[in-house]
Amino acid sequence: MIHDLKIEYEFAKLHFIGKNNWELRKNDRDFKVGDTIQFTVIEWEGSSNWKYERTITNVFDDTNLGLQDGYVILSIEKEL
């Protein structure tokens, strides 16, 4: 499944320089390992047409370890 999500430029930049390989998101889309996220970058020189994809490699949703109910941490990696 492909999930279309918006992301601010500052956070997208962290994906590209290798400092962030995860996303904290509300779990309103039933994310699954193997799904693809198509990010659309917003607030980047007034444009919203820069897009890139990442694959979900792990979905963490354990509220016993402090994660708020209804949210997930998605481990992501660049598609090869």
71 close to 24: Cβ distance less than 8 angstroms? yes
Task: Confirm or reject CATH 2.40.30.10 for domain 2-78, answering yes or no.
Answer: no
pLDDT value for 3: 97
- Print pLDDT tens along the chain (80 aa): 999 999 998 899 999 888 999 999 999 999 999 999 999 998 756 666 789 999 999 999 988 888 899 999 999 999 75
40 close to 52: Cβ distance less than 8 angstroms? no
pLDDT value for 39: 94
